[in-house]
Structure 1
Amino acid sequence: MNSTYRELTVAGLWHNNPGLVQLLGLCPLMAVTTNFVNGLGLGLATLLALVASNLAISTVRDYIRPEIRIPAFVLIIAGNVTLIEMLMQAYFHDLYNILGIFIPLIVTNCIVIGRSEAYASKNPPLHAGYDSLMMGVGFLLVLVVLGGMRELVANGTLFAQAHLMFGEAARGLTLTLSEDFKGLLLAALPPGAFIGLGFLVALKNYIDKRMAQTAKSAKTMPINNFGETA
């Protein structure tokens, strides 16, 4: 992996993560992540829309006049989201009904239009596709982690309703903490989403701070006469 792809990977998954750093797409992030499967479903839909749209925009970027680039980008994104919505209606109908309006609202998601304008419109398709893939995976990870946290605290389960995405055979994937687990209602409500995301952002900032301190200590560590750290 060359330096460009390495930088795009680290940026999308960590340093410039849409959900934890840019804090984009918070409306679906908060509303949908009541459990792991809902977060996974919306995350995959957003990922597909992001990759398909950015690839298309990067391919035709030289043929779009600057004055109409935003309407053109939105039109391309809307076409891809409509296709994804139709596929979800056909193959994941129950999950589509749960996610509801948040599937078509991917068209207005700041992550999708933001990466189209900031990166895809200025770079070749291969780089644009990889950038959108990493950004989409980063956003997907935040969705599933937050959804899993809220489901676990609110209901004492994990992977409930997995059959909506993986079929009836996946009903046995549900993990239960305890049969008499009461749960915390707050985790299932909108305030629980804000609190959960706050913990994730705080954890990332803490890790970044510790990594920076470790790197700084390594640079300032004295070197002995043999060229080794003392």
Structure 2
Amino acid sequence: MKFQEFTKGIIKNNAVFALALGLCPTLAITTSVENALGMSLAFAFVLISSNLIISALKRFIPQEVRIPCFIVIIASLVTAIDLFIHGYSPTLYEHLGIFLPLIVVNCIILGRAEAFASKHSVSDTFLDAAGVSVGFALAIISVSAIRELLGSGTIVIFGHEVVPAFTSSPAVVMLLPPGAFLTIGILLALLKRAKVI
């Protein structure tokens, strides 16, 4: 039963592909795998930390003000990760732009806090948050890998060419907003066809 808490958020209830949540950052920052990795790590830090704190403090948070309390906890963690990325990776900070602070109001994080963390044990909450984080990371990294590969002809992570250039004339439209919609649409169709989600 415990392991199921982890696995359900990865594919079956994947926030991006199965539930269509968190599409704003998915569409906006998936122009490169490096951006997706940065957003995935920031998202995972905030989701796991906030849900653990909320689960541990659930008995002390009054029912009437639980949502504002959740937002304060999430906002504090987002501020911490925002300052960390700004200090240690200014380029990534610049690429993530407004979407990094917008993690505060990400419906996935607030939804997991309300639907799961506030009602379950700390250990179950950790497994749930870790599974949702892995699922979100897989979704945005797969979208960004396809977009970067087709849009620039290569995949570069932290200055290293991971996938060598395979074309001299990439489809630049894949790096534009229509490319994000096309990629997500095709991936959703393939996952539905394969009955994965």
Q: Structure 1 length as normaliser, TM-score? A: 0.82
2:153 & 2:172 partners in 1: Cα distance?
11
> Do residues 172 (structure 1) and 169 (structure 2) align?
no
Amino acid of the residue matched to residue 164 of structure 2? T
Matched residue, 1:193: 180
2:89 to 75, 87, 92: 92
Unpaired runs of 5+ in structure 1?
A: 164-170, 212-230
Cα offsets for 1:159-200 (capped at 9, x unmatched): x2x22xxxxxxx33342233x521112211111111101111
In the TM superposition, 1:2-17 aligns within 5 A as 3-5=1-3, 7-17=4-14
RMSD over equivalenced CA pairs, Å: 1.4
SS of 1:62's partner is coil
Q: Secondary structure at the match of 1:12?
A: coil
Paired position in structure 2 for 1:119: 116
C-alpha distance in structure 1 between counterparts of 2:34 and 2:81, whole Å? 17
Deviation at 1:48, TM superposition (A): 0.8
Distance 2:160 2:80 in 1: 31
Letter in 2 for 1:89: H
Q: Does 1:183 find its partner at 2:193?
A: no
- Aligned with 2:194: secondary structure? helix
Instruction: Answer whether contact 2:6 2:129 (CA < 8 A) is retained.
Output: no
Given candidates 98, 101, 110, the residue that maps to 2:98 is 101
Deviations 1:48-88 (A, max 9, x none): 10000000000000111111000000000000111111111
> How far apart, CA to CA, are the structure 2 residues paired with 1:21 and 1:4?
21
Give the ranges of 4+ consecutive aligned residues of structure 1 lying more than 2 Å apart after TM superposition.
Answer: 171-178
Deviation at 1:138, TM superposition (A): 0.3
Calculate percent identity across the aligned residue pairs: 38
For 1:207, the equivalent position in structure 2 comes to 194
Work out the number of aligned pairs and report it: 197
Q: Give TM-score, length-normalised by structure 2.
A: 0.95
Of the structure 1 ranges 192-201 and 25-34, higher mean CA displacement relative to structure 2 is found in 192-201
Pairs within 5 Å for 1:56-95? 56-95=53-92
Alpha-carbon distance in 1 for matches of 2:160, 2:58: 47
SS in 1 for 2:58: helix
In structure 2, C-alpha distance between the alignment counterparts of 1:61 and 1:187, rounded to whole Å:
44
* Aligned AA (1:172): H
Q: In structure 1, what residue type is equivalent to 2:190?
A: L
Give the structure with higher Rg (CA): 1
1:131 lines up with 2:119 in the alignment: no
Q: Which residue of 2 aligns with 1:225?
A: none
